[in-house]
Amino acid sequence: MIECKNVNFTSHGREILKNINLFVQGGEIVGIIGPGGCGKSTLCNILNGTIKSHDGEVLINNRPLRSFSQNERARHVSTIFGIPENTEITVFEFILLSRTPFKKLLNPFSSYDIQIAEEYLEGFELTKHRDSLLCQLSPAQLKLVLLAFAFTRQADVIVLDDATESLDLRGLTLLHKTLIRYVVHGNTAAILTSNDINFIAQTADKIAIVSDGSIQMIGGHEIIDADIIKQYFNVDVFISKNVYNGRPNVHFFPEG
């Protein structure tokens, strides 16, 4: 589906990413975690094609991402680019714009485009904000709109940097459910970064730990343990198991 092969990236003489090798197959959710400044966001920008001046190759279905036209790339890789410049637009109008790469010039959006936009509007519980302007939303509501925009693209691969930022508990639940549904048929994949290790542990099929610009470890949720958290985040924690799925929950020690 999507693969990084020997990717290196240097900016202003500083080595940001070193020898990144990562393969994500259809049906997988891959979570990327690591301390601040380790290169997670840079890796996302390489995976979504925003950064092209890297060594090595990113392949989608065995085709180099750099060979895609801008419109082709938009159809195959979806991402969040932050708050749009025009916030004087309704929530639904903005989400529907995600389908632009599939729309023929001067033609209206198709009924299928509208159906998908409506689906994610409802999926992220945004129906009551359908006609609200983006500038009228809270940060948490706006983050849900940006997520709905990314999923509405229905791209082969969705890349979400800082996926859980600004989300409350309900928002985290909606994102978790949407990610699971997005990859369930095995023909799409999701890659996300987050500082919420518990969300990644409960959601991802595969977890990559990035530190000092390199992928230090990659595996299932079982790689999350107290020693690993101490090694890469320099925090003492204890680990319990989710009674429903056996996945790890990370807890901080309360300070006296």
pLDDT 10s digits, 16-32: 999 999 999 999 999 99
Q: Is a pLDDT exceeding 90 seen at residue 235?
A: yes
Q: Which two tokens stand for residue 72?
A: 């082709």
CA dist 43 and 126 (Å) reads 30
Q: Any idea where the domains of the chain sit in the sequence?
A: 2-252
- Read off the pLDDT band of 106 (50, 70, 90): confident
- Read off the pLDDT band of 82 (50, 70, 90): confident
User: b vs e for 222-247, b when ≥16 Cβ sit within 10 Å of the residue's Cβ?
Assistant: eebeeebbeebbeeebeeeeeeeeeb
Q: Is a pLDDT exceeding 80 seen at residue 71?
A: yes
Dihedral sign from CA coordinates of 27, 169, 236, 246: negative
Mean pLDDT of 40-69: 94
2-252 in CATH: which number? 3.40.50.300
Q: Which two tokens stand for residue 185?
A: 């048929």
CA dist 253 and 256 (Å) reads 9
pTM for this prediction: 0.94
Residue 156 CB: number of other CB atoms within 10 A?
Answer: 17
CA dist 204 and 197 (Å) reads 10
Q: Which two tokens stand for residue 170?
A: 């309900």
Q: Please name the helix (run of DSSP H) or strand (run of DSSP E) that holds residue 224, with its range, or none.
A: none
pLDDT value, residue 104: 86
- Read off the pLDDT band of 254 (50, 70, 90): confident
Nearest residue to 165 via CA among 82, 55, 248 = 82
Residue-wise pLDDT tens digits, 169-207: 999 999 999 999 999 999 999 999 999 999 999 999 999
Q: Please name the helix (run of DSSP H) or strand (run of DSSP E) that holds residue 39, with its range, or none.
A: none
Mean pLDDT of 83-96: 92
Q: Is a pLDDT exceeding 80 seen at residue 96?
A: yes
Q: Is a pLDDT exceeding 90 seen at residue 83?
A: no
